[in-house]
Every structure is written in structure tokens, then in C-alpha cells.
A and B are shown apart, each in its own frame.
Chain A
Amino acid sequence: MQYALIIREAAEDFARRSDPAYRDGWVAYSQALAQAGIMTGGAGLTGPETGTIVRRKGEDHDVQDGPYPDGKEQLGGFYLIDVPDMDTALEWAIRVPISDKGSVEVRPRLQM
């Protein structure tokens, strides 16, 4: 069963991305996932200020610079993992080296 671990970081988490200790934590976590042989995809994303948002406006498009104005947490990246069940996915979610200002959402992949 595939699950997405959707990681939302707070502003201070994004600010810490240049800190080697913080980066090491993510490298270590990705390594642990790879070692367990359950990682099927994922990506870290650059900060929300680098995003551009496109919306449909009838026949036209509205294009706006990010970040998407929404709350304290912003999407920082995601992992796609293949594990037997939700409980196992949650076990991996609590290992994500995020501060208590951020969050991890666990969502099953849509079966097509």
C-alpha cells in the first residue's frame, strides 16, 4: 500500500535549511527510508517564495508569485513510501526530523 508523507514546514524550518545539522537530519532520514527499501518516490521542494501559482479564470489564466497565502505551514516536500499499512506509515511519519512547528500528513495513494 502506498502512502504519501506530506511535509509542511514552518517559516523557521525553511530558514534552517542552510544549517548543516538540519540538512543532515533529512539526509539521514532519506537514507533510512532507502535502506528499508520502502521509498518509491518523493522530492524536497525549494521554499514557498520561489513558487508561482496558476489559476484558471474562465478562458484566461491568472498567474501569481508564491507563496500561497495559507497559514503558518507551507509544503516543504513529500515522500512516497510503500508499506503494509497505515500504522507502519505513521511509524515512519514520527521519524521525520521536523520541528514541532511543522507537520507531516500521511495520505494513502489513490488507486487508479
Chain B
Amino acid sequence: MPPDAGRAAEKVARQSYGKLIAFLAARSRDVPAAEDALSEALASALRVWPERGIPGNPEAWLLVAARRNLMQAARHRTVEANAQTTISVAFEEAEERMNAAGSAVFPDERLKLLFACTHPAIDSSVHTALMLQTVPGIEAKIIARSFVVSPEAMSQRLVRAKVKIRDAGIPFAVPPRPALPGRLAAVLSAIYAAYGLGWDGLDGENERHSLAGEAIWLGRALLAVLPDEPEAVGLLSLMLHCEARRSARRGGDGRYVPLDEQDTTAWNAIMIAEADALLRKAGSFDRFGPFQCQAAIQSVHAARRLSGTTDWQALTTLYAALVMMKPTLGARVSQAAVIGRASSAAAGLEQLDKLDPRDIASYQPYWAVRAFLLTQVGDHTAAADAYMTAIGLSDSPAVRDFLAGRLKDARQAI
């Protein structure tokens, strides 16, 4: 096969997968059937295109082929005639929209899919996985690896969720205005969680890195259709800020490098500029929210590239706002770390002591921050003990080695 035909098929599959699934499942809501039909269509594209050339509109070609497969499958299942009609009508509508070339209707279809995947009727623990599989079409195997579950368990969960979409009649639609903010929050969380999976998987796993890329792509797709949602703008800004620092997070020898020791010249200046421009744009709507707040926090860190210093006071203010809006454990632990820098280590420890012991027992960042602050106040014995717990809770060899170095220093200071 000429490589370009294969490449063309892959490109269409990557860019249009979610959109095509949305079209194909628009009426029936039967995502699994749509997926089968589309993967068959892709297989025939790989057979036919190298011989007959790449069609002028590969997307439309795939849609027509997948539609044919669906109709055949429906005939096989001897679906009642009225369902057949429904499917046909849905397709004709879909094709009409497809052929209204260049209209912004495409991302809109993908967006409907995002809202279906993160519907409150779907267990929120599957939102991210379902979204990653349905919209950019990532293999369940890769998703399972990122979530640390067996591929079989992940597949079962995804199948269950898809059956529920079909059987519970979950709408493929952007929710009406009054319901939008609440529903959008679920979409944003799912995208950010996908980014987080890619962010964590840094120890030589390219697959996970691509999850971070997919999340950013989803963030952009969302913005294309909801340009006036400041939290969606804030989320993209936040992800770009984090992504800009990716290569600085490990030394040449694979060593873990904490944020305040990173070489700022290794940060991606173009991404930072885009992230800051987005943050300003979000601010112009005058509707502040947690994602904008987290993007602003990252923007303060990014400013060190030019000023050479970190404005801990500004970070204290931003974390206070974040904890007021969304008092997650992560936000509260980071807040304590920042207070430890802005005012005193003792004040930071005081913040940590306010947390519920049950919540932090196996929360690694808490123990790492606690150990650091205990070192600052000179309690090296307690610091060493906290470092031990932090090491035991780490799942990354690079982080473990970094903390072991700090543990050694603490022990020597006792």
C-alpha cells in the first residue's frame, strides 16, 4: 500500500472519528454499533484507497461506507421497519450537514458527544475513559494502562456506559443555557483528568504523552464551539501552561526536577504566550472560576522566566480563591506549600494540620510537602519520617529517587 493512502486514512480517522460516531449514532444512540460500522469502513478504506486513490472528501466517503455497514447490520438484526426509517432519516440529515462543507457544524457534533459521555446518568468515574475512547477514538488498551486497570475491566466499563447511553435515552445534545454551566463543568473535568493522566505518565511512556496531546486537542475543539465560556478558555490556558514545562520536568539523566529548580529556558515560550493570552481573554468575561484560577496560578509560576523570582504573595491570594471555590485536597495541600513559602514554614504546617487525617493518610503530595516544611522548621527527625511515607506512596521511580535524596539530607541533619 502506498504510505500516503494509509496516512490519509489515519489522519481522517484521527480528526473525524468522534464526529463520524456522533453522526452515525445521532438517532439510534447506539455507540457500539456506530463504532463497528466505522471501523469496518476504515478497513475498507485501507483496502480501496491505495487502488483507486484517496477520495476528494475522505470524511464523506467514510460516512457513506459506515452508513452502508450500519444499514446491513440493522437488516441482519431484522430491526422493525420504522427503526430502519429513523436510521435512514438520521443519515440523510447527517450527510446534508456533512456536505454543507466548511460550516462549523462539525465540532458541534463532537461537542454533543462530549456532553453525552459526561452525562450525570453515567458514573463519573468512566467519564474520562468514555470520552477518550469515543471522541478521539483511543484504544481501550491504552486507556486501561493509564487508569491502571486491566484492559478487560476497562472494556467492560466502557461497554456498560455505552449501553446505558442507548438504553437510558441519554441525549446527544448541547444542554440548554440554564443547565449548561453545571454540565460543562463535567466536560471540563473529564478533559482535565485526561490531561492529568498524560501528565503523570512521564516515565518513558509516549502513549500517555499523547493523552495529554488529545486533552489539549479536545480543549481546543471545545473552544471552537463555545468561545464565550471563560472556564473552557481557562482550562485550555491551564493545560498549555503545564505542557510548556514538560521537557523541563526531567533532567538529562531522567532525574525528577521540581518546579522551582526547573531551567526556565527549557520552557516553551510560545505555549506560555498563548496560555497567557487565553487567560486575559477569559478574564474579559468577568466570570471567574476554578480553571481560570488554576491557569492564573500557573501563569504566576511562568512569570519567573522573565523576572527570575516567584511572587509567592500573589500565589497565596490565588490559592485562597481556589480553595474557596473548589476545596479539593490537592488545592489545600498546594495552598499550604505556598503559605509555607510566602509567610513561614510553621504557618504552612498549621494549614496542613487542619486537614482530616483520613483524607491525607495515602495522599502522596501531602507527605512530600509536610516533609519539606518540617525540614524548614528544623524538625529533621519528623521530616525524615514524613519523607519515608512520601517515598512509600510514590509510584514513580524518578520521584522516589528525588525524595530519597532529600531523606538523606534530613537524616544527616539530625
Enumerate chain A interface residues (CB-CB to B < 8 A): 21, 24-25, 27-33, 35-38, 86-87, 90-91, 94-95, 97
A-B pairs, 5 with minimum CB distance? A32-B392, A28-B392, A28-B391, A36-B362, A29-B392
Complex interface: chain A residues within 8 A of B388 (CB): 24, 27-28, 31-32
B 306-351 contacts with A by CB, 8 A: none
**Contact present for B395 and A32 (CB under 8 Å):** no
Q: Are B362 and A24 in contact (CB under 8 A)?
A: no
| A36→B395 contact, CB < 8 A | no
Chain B residues in 8 Å Cβ range of A21: 404
Q: Distance in Å from the Cβ of A28 to the closest Cβ of chain B?
A: 4
How far in angstroms is the closest Cβ of chain A from B196?
15
Taking a contact as CB atoms under 8 Å apart, the answer to whether B389 and A35 are in contact is yes
Q: Are the C-beta atoms of A32 and B404 separated by less than 8 Å?
A: no
Closest chain B residue, CB of each to CB of A24: B404
Task: For A91, list chain B residues within 8 Å (CB).
Answer: 148, 395
Q: Are B361 and A95 in contact (CB under 8 A)?
A: no
Report whether B391 and A36 are in contact in the complex, using a CB–CB cutoff of 8 Å.
no
Cβ of B221 to closest chain A Cβ, rounded Å: 29
Contacts of A95 in B (CB 8 A): 392-395
Q: Could you tell me the distance in whole angstroms from the C-beta of A58 to the nearest C-beta in chain B?
A: 41
Chain A residues with CB under 8 Å of B148's CB are 87, 90-91, 94
Chain B residues, CB < 8 A from A35: 361-362, 389, 392
B357 vs chain A, min Cβ distance (A): 10
| A25 CA to B397 CA, complexed, in Å | 10
A3 to chain B, nearest CB (A): 14
Indicate if the CB atoms of A87 and B394 lie closer than 8 Å: no
Q: Closest residue of chain A to B385, judged by CB? A: A31
Q: How far is the CA of A83 from the CA of B404 in the complex (A)?
A: 27
Q: Which residue of A lies closest to B125 (CB)?
A: A87
A10 to B394, CA, bound (A): 21
Complex-state Cα separation, A31 to B362, whole angstroms: 11
Q: Which of A27, A28, A36 has the most CB of B within 10 A?
A: A28
Give bound CA distance, A28 to B153, whole Å. Answer: 30
Report how far A112 CA is from B391 CA in the complex, Å.
35
Within the complex, what minimum Cβ distance (angstroms) separates B362 from chain A? 4
Complex partner residue of A31 from B389, B394, B397, B404, CB under 8 angstroms: B389
A/B interface sample: 15 pairs, CB < 8 A? A24-B404, A25-B391, A25-B392, A27-B388, A28-B389, A31-B388, A31-B392, A32-B391, A33-B392, A35-B392, A90-B149, A94-B395, A95-B394, A97-B391, A97-B400
Are B361 and A37 closer than 8 Å at their CB atoms?
Answer: yes
CB A68 to nearest CB in B, in angstroms, measures 27
Bits for B358-399, please: 1 = Cβ < 8 Å to A, else 0: 000110000000000000000000000000111111110100
Q: A36-B362, A94-B148, A95-B395 are in contact. List 6 more A-B contacts (CB 8 A).
A: A24-B388, A28-B389, A32-B393, A86-B149, A94-B395, A97-B400
**Residues from 229 to 245 in B contacting A, C-beta threshold 8 Å:** none
Whether A30 and B153, one on each chain, are in contact in the complex, defined by CB atoms closer than 8 angstroms, is no
Q: A31–B391 Cα gap in the complex (Å)?
A: 9
Interface string of B284-315 (1 = CB under 8 A from A): 00000000000000000000000000000000
Instruction: Give the residues in chain B near A33, CB-CB below 8 Å.
Output: 392
Question: Given contacts A32-B362, A32-B389, A35-B362, are A86 and B400 in contact (CB under 8 A)?
Answer: no
Q: How far is the CB of B122 from chain A (nearest CB, A)?
A: 17
With A and B bound together, what is the CA distance between A8 and B66 in angstroms? 47
Task: With a 10 A CB-CB cut-off, give which of B149, B153, B361, B392 has the most chain A CB atoms.
Answer: B392
Chain B's closest residue to A98 (CB) is: B397
Taking the nearest CB of chain B, how far is it from the CB of A94, in angstroms?
A: 4
| A31 vs B389: C-alpha distance when bound (angstroms) | 6
With beta carbons under 8 angstroms apart, the residue of B149, B361, B400 that contacts A87 is B149
| A30 → B minimal CB distance (Å) | 7
Find chain B residues with CB under 8 A from A86 CB: 149, 153
Q: How far is the CA of A91 from the CA of B362 in the complex (A)?
A: 10
**Most chain B beta carbons < 10 A, residue from A25, A87, A91:** A25
- Find the B residue at minimum CB distance from A32: B392
Bound form: Cα–Cα A97–B398 in Å: 11
Closest to A88 in B: B362
Question: Separation in Å of the B356 CB from the closest CB of chain A?
Answer: 13
Q: For residue B348, give the distance in angstroms from its CB to the closest CB of chain A.
A: 20
User: In the complex, A24 Cα to B388 Cα: how many Å?
Assistant: 8
